[in-house]
Amino acid sequence: MTHPWNEMELMVVVASRLLEDGRLVVVGTGGPCAATMLAQKTHAPRLIAMFEAGGVGPVLEALPISVGDSRTWHRGLSTGSMAETMSALARGQVDYCFLGGAQIDPYGNLNSTLIGSDYHRPKVRFPGSGGANDLASHAWRTLVITPQDARRFVEHLVFSTSPGYLHGKGAREAAGLPPGTGPYKVVTQLAVYGFDEDTCRMRVESLHPGVTLDDVRAATGFELLVAPDLGQTPAPSDEELRILREEVDPDRLFIGR
CATH 3.30.460.80 assigned to domain 7-100+131-146+162-210+228-248? The reply is: no
CA distance 48 to 23: 6
Provide the residue ranges of all domains of the chain, joining segments of one domain with +. 7-100+131-146+162-210+228-248
Question: What pLDDT is attached to residue 68?
Answer: 85
Q: What is the pLDDT along the chain (257 residues), one digit of tens a residue?
A: 688 999 999 999 999 999 999 999 999 888 999 999 999 999 999 999 999 999 999 998 889 988 888 889 889 899 889 999 999 999 999 999 999 999 999 999 999 999 999 999 999 999 899 899 999 999 999 999 999 999 999 999 999 999 999 999 999 999 999 999 999 999 999 999 999 999 999 999 999 999 999 999 999 999 999 999 999 999 999 999 999 999 999 999 999 87
CB burial of residue 251 (10 Å; 0-12, 13-18, 19+): exposed
CB burial of residue 6 (10 Å; 0-12, 13-18, 19+): middle
Question: What pLDDT is attached to residue 90?
Answer: 93
Give the chain's count of helices (H) and strands (E).
7, 14
* SS3 (DSSP) at 68: coil
CB burial of residue 256 (10 Å; 0-12, 13-18, 19+): exposed
Decide if 185 contacts 192 (C-beta within 8 A).
yes
Whole-prediction pTM: 0.95
Question: What pLDDT is attached to residue 24?
Answer: 97
- Helix ranges, the chain (H): 7-17, 31-41, 82-90, 132-138, 171-174, 213-218, 238-243
Question: What pLDDT is attached to residue 28?
Answer: 86
Question: What pLDDT is attached to residue 1?
Answer: 63
Catalytic residue set:
52
CA distance 236 to 95: 25
